[in-house]
Amino acid sequence: MGGASGIAAFITVAGFLAGPGFERMRQQLRRQCQEIRVIDCSPEGQQPETATGIFQGVQQPVCAS
């Protein structure tokens, strides 16, 4: 049988991008995935001055993968 294929998507805290708590998860994804795309949903950082965030009530910066 061939390898599995499909698309997975999730929204998580932006610490996923470079934080040490997600290091092993990023390594595993790099081993398993052909392609990874990440959208930084909080480019202004935590609690920006204007309400531009996608998830208004969320206090932490988030990203979608």
The confidence score (pLDDT) of residue 17 equals 81
Q: Is 16 left (phi over 0), alpha (psi -120 to 50) or beta?
A: alpha
Cβ 62 vs Cβ 55: under 8 Å: yes
The confidence score (pLDDT) of residue 13 equals 80
The confidence score (pLDDT) of residue 31 equals 92
The confidence score (pLDDT) of residue 27 equals 93
The confidence score (pLDDT) of residue 1 equals 47
The confidence score (pLDDT) of residue 56 equals 67
Residues of the chain with pLDDT under 50: 1
pTM for the full predicted model: 0.59
